[in-house]
Amino acid sequence: MDASVDYFEINRLAWNLRTGVHKDSAFYDLNSFKQGKNSLNPLELEALGKVSGKKLLHLQCHFGQDTLSWARLGAKATGVDLSDEAITLARQLNEELGLEAEFICCNVYDLPQHLEGQFDIVFTSYGVIGWLPDMEKWAQVVAHFLKPGGTFFLAEFHPAIWMFDNHFTCVQYSYFNNGGPIIEESTGTYTDHDAPIHYTEYSWNHALSEVFTALLHQNLQLVDFQELPYSYYNCFANLEQGPDGFWRINGLEEKLPIMYSVKMVKPQP
């Protein structure tokens, strides 16, 4: 990688712009959330079960809807994100809703310098690890904050999806992380493709083997792994909503994995 380029600063600016659009979008439906709607999905709710009284760390939390949803379910939740605009909004929502979540603004890799203690649950989900170049370093942070006997849960979009062009008509990118970032000049965002924002973004595609190997190197033990042919979100082009409410690629229904999840535990000493 080019050490002279501050990938994280460039992505922080991009996510600040996105946050300004996302907070007013129907996609995030902030009004319904404020009125009590839970933003979490069946995959993570079923995997983690009852969280009341548990300490939960949410990595790359955006503006905190999922973090606050866990707090509503009784978790002692802490959210972390790179975007200062997102964390400012998360703190405002936390105060407005009378919850007791905490939010930290920093790069995930730097979190050990900003947070102490260990957690019963480390959670991260949907469109997050692709903004990080190094899975080994990421897995070290996960293991650092996970207490013995604790659970790590990742729900994410499948690396096979990130190989395609925006309309799923051809393979454009490698399945594997070949070292250098994918550099894109982007306009709009997944909640509004016509939003008047323009930014550069740096991302990396992480093969399942890369993700699993990094976590296994931290001696975490695999409990469950799922691959799913649908998305909970209408965040890609050319998706169609099925009778179950989930979104699938038009013409490729049930042929490609769109999401996956990994559940691991940190063994007791």
Q: What is the pLDDT of residues 170-181, one digit of tens each?
A: 999 999 999 789
Domains identified in the chain and CATH numbers: 7-37+52-265 (3.40.50.150)
Triad 178, 142, 1: Cα angle to 5°: 25
Per the structure block, which two tokens stand in for 167?
A: 């309309």
In this structure, the number of other CB atoms found within 10 A of the CB of residue 157 comes to 21
Q: Where are the alpha helices (DSSP H) in the chain?
A: 7-22, 30-34, 42-48, 65-72, 84-97, 135-145, 208-217
Contact 120, 55 (CB under 8 A): yes
- Residue 169's pLDDT is what? 93
Task: Give residue 246's identity as a one-letter amino acid code.
Answer: F
- Residue 1's pLDDT is what? 57
Q: What is the pLDDT of residues 205-218, one digit of tens each?
A: 999 999 999 999 99
The percent of residues above 90 in pLDDT, for the chain, comes to: 96
